Every structure is written in structure tokens, then in C-alpha cells.
Structure 1
Amino acid sequence: MKKRSFTEKVVKAGLLLVIAGVVVWAFAAGSFQLMIDRPGDLIYLLLQHLQLVGLSALLAVAAAVPAGIIVTRERFRKLQWIATNFANLGQTIPSLAILALVMSYLGIGYQTAVFALWINSLLPILRNTIAGLENVSPSILDAGKGMGMSPGQIFWKLELPNASYAILAGIRTSIVINVGTATLAFLIGGGGLGDFIFTGISLYDTGIMLAGALPVMVLAVIIDFVLGKLERVVIPKGLQRNLETL
């Protein structure tokens, strides 16, 4: 436990140093002045970015969590290979290729970007849902059966609470990854903070590029922090204590 705490502190310190370095770089490049001069544009693009990430995440959770639950039931286990490999497409195919493929069928715009991000979000959530449910201790399930619980009661009161840590970790990972991936939505007219990033790249202007990259980085850190706190609220207290002792 002490060793893990020390490692976590070192990693956090390293991340803070990286963030501080990027902030200094952005300040020297004039990014903060650009944000001050164009606050309306920054807020507009930030809201677009949040909409892209939020909607794609909600759709991914709505699809991947139920799918993970279904394929862990005995009668549907044969479908697990199909579901997992479908979700694999979002990770094995490069993000730009996914955008190009989706754009060729759905055209350009916000809806196409959300669909591409949805595909990209599925795998971490699906895999963690399956892993969480399959790794629930058989002794816990046997105890529930011994107490006369129905299959539904066993699932809602034993399986799902004990798998909640893994499921939420998958959702957290998926959303944080999508914060960065959503910058590519600009390339197909989906909006978001990628507007500043790719405009800066095309104009060879580091200040404009960092005016988009810095908010993306800060947004990812904030979302990860908030979801981490949410885990402590949702995960049962007893399970939290067990995890802390590992």
C-alpha cells in the first residue's frame, strides 16, 4: 500500500510538472492573450467539445454496459466474441481512418463526429463490464443463492455492485481518451477545440495551437478528477476498503 502511494505521488508530481511546462510554453507563445481577446470563441468551442464528448459517452455507456451484461449471461456467452471484436474496431482502426470511413457514408458534420467518437468509446467500457462481472467471486454468488436470492436479486445486489469499480474505470478511461480524440472532429466539420489546434498547425502559429491544446489537456484532467470522485460515491464502501488494502 505504501509503495503504491509513493508511486502515485511520483506520477502525479510528474503530470503536474508536464502541465506546468505546457502552461509556461503557452504563455510564452501568447495563447493566454488570444484567449483573453477571444473569450466568446473559446467558450463556444469548449461547449461544442463538451457536447461531442458527453453525447458520445452517454451513447457508448447505453450500448456497451447492457451489451457487457448480456454476453456474461450463460445463454449468451457465445456472443461475447462477436461483441468484443465489434468494439475492437474502434481501437484497432486509427481515429482518422474511422472519421474517413464514417464520413464516406454519413457525410460531414456534428452527427458524423458523434458516431465516430461513439465507436471509439465502446471497447474500454465493454471490456471492463465483462471483466468486472466475470471476476465477481463465486463464493459471493453461492452465498446469495444460499440465502434464497432470485437471479435478479443476485445480479442487482451482488454482481453489479461488486463489478461497479471495473465498470466505472472503463467509463472513466473511455471519456478521458475521447476528450483528446474529439479534437479530430474539426476535420469533418464537427466543431470543438480542434478548431484552434488545426488552425494553428495550418498557420504555423504555436500560440493558436496551444490555445486549443491547453484547454483540452485541462479538461481531461478535470473530467478524470470528477469521475474519480464520483467512483467514491457510487462504489460500495466495503468494496472501497477492500481495494485500498490490495
Structure 2
Amino acid sequence: MLLPPLCYLAVAVAMIVYTQTTPLDGIERGSLNLPFILRRTWEHIQLVFYSTVLVLVVALPLGVLLTRRGARRATPFVLALVNVGQATPAVGLVVLLAVLFHIGFWTAVAALFAYSLLPTLRNTMVGLEQVDPRLIDAGRGIGMSATGVLAKVELPIAVPVILSGVRTTLVLNVGTAGIAAFIGAGGLGDLITTGVSTQRSLILVTGCVLIAVLALLIDWLGGLAQRFLAPKGLT
């Protein structure tokens, strides 16, 4: 279980050690010094954290609502709206929001939220819709309220599918957060944009490797959550 993250961390450490020990020119030293890399990594994690929290706050209750009988008619319209964010190219979405509002951290968070909302929303709906209706009827038959059935029957059974959607959202956010640098939001994307604009391959490769490692680590953590948070007997 611990072998994959150790391998990922070893790659990241090896990359950073290489950048700290190899001869660098002035531009490379400015972008590859350890404090700068750590600061950009922390900014990247913050972008992923806040955008994912927003997704959870919106997608989970909305997904539950859209599976209730009274709100199902709105499902096609809501999914069509959410699909716009998913279908729009990530760079275009970030730049569009920056033009409409202003450049900076929270604009990037909003773009990431719009881009990664669909997987969690859709999986929440699918997870609840695949619950056997006989289990719901049995719960109602023993006197449970609709809220009780939702909390004690439907949601526990749907947890593995919901967590799979959250895991997808996390990995999407890690990769997409790299373009936040285009609007001054920081993150490891700064290394990529600097590497491209200054034609410094080492800076570019370092940014790409660190984003890939971060995505793999978060995917591993998501897999752990999916394994341990799912009710026993459903995993």
C-alpha cells in the first residue's frame, strides 16, 4: 500500500535534488530555488483544496436533490449547464473568467470549480439511482422517514460511486490548476509558463514532473479514502 506513494515521492525528490545540484543560469536559479518551488507547490495545493471543497458543497446536495421525485424534471437542464463548464476548454474558461472578473487566485478557483463539477455531481446521482428500490421500500416499510432512508440506506450504498467521482474531480483539479498561472494565480504552472517563455527545458520539465507527482499522490489518497470510507461489505 505504501510502495506507490514512496515511488512518487522518490521521483519528486530526485527531480528537486537534481535542480539544486546541477549548474544553472540566472533565470533557472530564480525559478528552481527550493523556497520558490515549495511556495508554488503550496499555492497549487490551495487551488486544488478550495476548488474541490466548493465542488463538494455544491455537487453533493445538488446530486441528492436531483434524484428526488419532485426535482427530477430539472435534471436535464442542470446537467446541460454543468456540461458547459466541462466541455469548455480549460484555458479558455480560465481566461474568460479573468476577462469578466479579474485575474487572481479566486478567479482560478472558480474556473476549476466549473471545470470539475460534473464528475462528482454525476456520480452522486448515479450512485443514488442505482440503489435497489426494494431496499428503499423495505426501509419505508419498517417506518423510516424519507430522510432516514436517504441517510441510512441510499447514501451508504452510494458512497463508493460518489467517492469515485470525488477522486476524479481531485485529479482533474490538480492537472488543470497548472493553467492558473496564466492569470496570475500561482501554482506549479508558473514553472511551465516560465520554461516555455524563456525556453528553459529544465524549468518546464520540473513543473510537469511535480504536477504529475502531485496528481498521482492525490489519486492514491483518493483511493485510500474510497477503500476505507466505503461501508464494509460494499468494497
Q: Distance in 2 between matches of 1:68 and 1:82?
A: 13
Task: Report the counterpart of residue 156 of structure 2 in structure 1.
Answer: 161
Q: Distance in 2 between matches of 1:135 and 1:223?
A: 27
The alpha-carbon deviation at position 63 of structure 1 amounts to: 0.5
Contact 1:197 1:208 in 2 (8 A): yes
d(CA) in 2 for partners of 1:187, 1:146: 56
TM-score (norm 1): 0.84
Contact 2:20 2:34 in 1 (8 A): no
SS at match of 2:218: helix
Structure 1 CA distance for aligned equivalents of residues 73 and 32 of structure 2: 57
* C-alpha distance in structure 2 between counterparts of 1:117 and 1:52, whole Å: 8
Pick the aligned partner of 2:37 from 37, 42, 52: 42
Q: 2:180 aligns with which of 169, 179, 185?
A: 185
CA displacement at 1:146 relative to structure 2? 2.2
Partner of residue 24, structure 2: none
User: Which residue in 1 is equivalent to 2:226?
Assistant: 231
TM-score (norm 2): 0.87
Q: 5+ unaligned residues in a row in structure 1: which ranges?
A: 1-11, 241-246
Structure 2 match to 1:195: 190
For residues 37 and 51 of structure 1, the distance between their equivalents in structure 2, rounded to whole angstroms, comes to: 20
| 2:174 maps to 1:171 | no
Partners of 2:137 and 2:71 in 1: CA distance: 21
**Structure 2 matches for 1:45-56, cutoff 5 A?**
45-56=40-51
Aligned: 1:78 with 2:73: yes
Q: Is the 8 A contact 2:116 2:173 kept in 1?
A: yes
Query: Aligned partner of 1:121: which letter?
Result: S
Give distance in 1, aligned partners of 2:97 and 2:32: 36
Contact 1:32 1:211 in 2 (8 A): no
Deviation string for 1:34-66 (max 9, x for gaps)?
799611001100000000010000001101111
Instruction: Tell me how many residue pairs correspond in the alignment.
Output: 222
Once the two structures are TM-superposed, the CA of residue 214 in structure 1 deviates from its matched residue by 1.1
Question: In 2, Cα distance between the equivalents of 1:98 and 1:31?
Answer: 33
Percent of matched pairs sharing the same residue: 39
Tell me which amino acid in the other structure corresponds to 1:163.
A
